[in-house]
Amino acid sequence: MWYVYFLRCADNSLYAGITTSLERRVLEHNECNKKGSKYTRMRRPVSLAYAESQINRQQASRREYQLKQLSKQNKEQLVNNYSLTNKTDI
């Protein structure tokens, strides 16, 4: 199972990515200088703001691309709707 996710950064920006483990990936973004992305390294701490599952890496990558094309307003709406229905803290 693959996941597409948005992280909420300390500067209130959103970062999109894909992974097979949300918990591990959030930890890497927050604590690991080699495995965390360059973007999130400068905007710590980050927290999971949105996630959806995909059946394989190809589908996850396609969905990540789609999400990155959304306007900031649409991304925020997606995150807000997600947080209302899913109360998970990773």
For residue range 8-21, list pLDDT tens digits in order: 999 999 999 999 99
User: How is residue 84 written in tokens?
Assistant: 């209302």
Domains delineated in the chain: 2-85 (3.40.1440.10)
The list of the chain residues with pLDDT below 50 reads 90
Provide the whole-model pTM: 0.90
The gap from C-alpha 78 to its chain's centroid, in whole angstroms, comes to 12
